[in-house]
Structure 1
Amino acid sequence: MSAMLAVLMYATPLALAALGETVVQKAGVIHIGIEGTMLAGAFFGMLATLASGNPWVGLGVGVVVGVTLALLSGVFALTLTVDQVVVGTAVNLLALGLTRTMFAMRFGASGELLSVPKVPSWQGLDAVMVVAVLLAVATHGVLFRTSWGLALRSAGEYPQAAEAAGFSVLRLRYAALVYGGAMAGLGGAYLSLGIAGSFADNMTAGRGFLAIAMVTFGRWKPVPVLGACLLLGWLDGLQFTFQAKGVQLPFQLFLALPYVAALLVLAGMGRGAHAPAALAIPFRRAR
């Protein structure tokens, strides 16, 4: 596999989740539960693949799980107007506890021998990697070139104006949340089926939070968000590059690199970023 394809492979789960989160935040919702959604997508996608022998079934199940958790979040955060950060945190805890318990019950404490079929690829390139790149372009086009995208952005900037123009802010935000959940679930499923070919407890390891950081780094624009994810994908793959060259460094250093880079980038570039004005603010229709 070439270095470029390796970067794209490691960036794909993060990119899918971050692209979905970009749409969610443009609509005025912050989906903190993206970490738990990715983890649940990885676990149930693995289970479905193990049962069917088909990784495409697993990817589909990951999407369904992501949409289900997004709708659950929407009921509390959008319909009942519960604090969005609290709802997202609850989703993360639910996913972590559920996957950990079910994994231990099904495979034992370690699950070391667990192996599932991976997404088929051609010389290291698979369909999901291509989809991630195409989605960045398509999402940009929908957000900034269509009337629906304008309405969605209005829901995140000035929801009262969107409502006055005849759009349902609640429906727009639900639609964005469903898309974000689907992408996070797909990203999680790809992590277990496209990269690892297995599952481990808490295998997302904070990638959901990294995805949220990449949305800010990319200034809420899909193509720059993809670029930010590719940067972290390159850092994620550095450990294997150094190993291939015989450089012996603690593996913990490479595990920490993407997170340190995200922190430094946000500290240096996050100051000038302007989030959607109504981000995380509950919308209540005027009576």
Structure 2
Amino acid sequence: MDNFNFFSDYLVASFRLTVPLAYAALGGLYSERSGVLNIALEGMLLSGAFIAAVATFYTKNPTLGLLAALFVGGLVGLLHAFLCVTLRVNQLVSGLAINLVASGITSFLARLVFPGNSIQRLPEITVIIVPGLANIPLIGNLLFQQDILVYLLFLLIAVTTYILFHTNFGLTLRAVGEYPQAADTSGISVQQVRYCAVIISGCLASLGGAYLSLVAVRFFAEGMSAGKGFIAIAALIFGRWHPLGSALACLLFGATEALQLRIQALGVNIPYQFLLMLPYAIAILALAGLAGKSTPPKALGTAYRKH
């Protein structure tokens, strides 16, 4: 029974650590499928976590916190799109700049909002229990006793898969990411599609940040995204820019992080620094082509100039 409880707790922990990664990866998917490299996922996660925490702290309403995170995430996405699409700034530089600015601003403002850097517990998001299904051993606790953000994630993975491969918008998005010149010739506005994709990217990534501050720990801490945006990019590559593949890759990284936490808790005689690096080591292996060669959208990272 103890082994079963340990395994059940491990699965729940893996799932909780997967959710913010999956939101960021889905956001990155929209942006990168349109041809815009989105290194700014880290900054979007952190911005979403901070704004959701602040809005919830002042209003005592997590729903308003989520809406605030969506709004600010969209603004960060708009900024990234403006820099990359309109000004044609190097997309890697734009993303890194947004990450640095988000880190600095959220750290500064957090010390103003939460005096003395004290931990301010935030109101809890209600858990939605699905009658009947929630009683299924192991699976019930994992899938059917979750908050709205988890159920929304399931829906978004399915909807994104459908949109990407079975709708005109998905075809247009992929065309812009692969052959922007051909898409432009056929009358598609490359700029408009990329703006839309990067704004959606910011909104989704910010929901991952909101999950961190409102569900995972229920307070805001400086730098709490802790590299999850970069791991989400690795998951995108590992999942070959497919919604389901990327989500499964996020689950792998989440399970790896949960494993290192469990090993530390068991007091195994392994240097904790080695355990801390496990998720990042898996990310490096993914980037090195552990699951085979991944082919990115052909126009990824390339600014489009209308001829």
For Structure 1 versus Structure 2, the TM-score category normalised by the shorter chain is over 0.9
Deviating more after overlay: 191-200 vs 53-62 = 53-62
Query: Partner of 1:125 in structure 2?
Result: 146
Aligned counterparts of 1:259 and 1:153: Cα–Cα separation in 2: 29
Residues 187-217 of structure 1, C-alpha deviations (whole Å, 9 max, x = no match): 1111111101111110001111111111100
Matched, 1:162 2:183: yes
- Deviation of the 1:109 alpha carbon: 4.8
Query: Partner of 1:261 in structure 2?
Result: 282
What TM-score does the superposition give when structure 1 sets the normalisation length?
0.93
Task: Name stretches of at least 5 consecutive residues in structure 2 with no aligned partner.
Answer: 1-7, 130-140
Query: Partner of 2:122 in structure 1?
Result: 116
Equivalent runs, 1:189-200 vs 2, <5 Å? 189-200=210-221
What TM-score does the superposition give when structure 2 sets the normalisation length?
0.87
Query: Partner of 2:4 in structure 1?
Result: none
Does the 8 Å CA contact 2:88/2:303 hold for their aligned counterparts?
yes
Does the 8 Å CA contact 1:216/1:270 hold for their aligned counterparts?
no
- Deviation of the 1:270 alpha carbon: 6.9
Aligned counterparts of 2:11 and 2:156: Cα–Cα separation in 1: 19
Equivalent runs, 1:216-255 vs 2, <5 Å? 216-242=237-263, 247=268, 251-255=272-276
Query: Partner of 1:89 in structure 2?
Result: 96
**Moved >6 Å (runs of 4+):** none
Residues 117-148 of structure 1, C-alpha deviations (whole Å, 9 max, x = no match): 23222455222112212211211111111121
- Deviation of the 1:235 alpha carbon: 1.5
- Deviation of the 1:271 alpha carbon: 6.0
The two structures, once aligned, show a CA RMSD in angstroms of: 1.9
* Counterpart residue identity of residue 93, structure 2: V
Matched, 1:13 2:20: yes
Relative distance call for 1:140 and 1:56 in structure 2 (3 A) is same
Q: Give the number of the structure whose alpha-carbon radius of gyration is greater.
A: 2
Aligned counterparts of 2:117 and 2:196: Cα–Cα separation in 1: 38
Query: Partner of 2:235 in structure 1?
Result: 214
- Deviation of the 1:3 alpha carbon: 3.7
Task: Name stretches of at least 5 consecutive residues in structure 1 with no aligned partner.
Answer: none
- Deviation of the 1:245 alpha carbon: 5.2
Aligned counterparts of 2:232 and 2:114: Cα–Cα separation in 1: 29
Residues 204-248 of structure 1, C-alpha deviations (whole Å, 9 max, x = no match): 011111111111000011100000001111112224534665657
How many residues align? The count is 285
Task: Tell me the secondary structure at the aligned position of residue 272 of structure 1.
Answer: coil
Does the 8 Å CA contact 2:85/2:303 hold for their aligned counterparts?
yes
Structure 1 vs Structure 2: percent identity of aligned residues?
Answer: 41
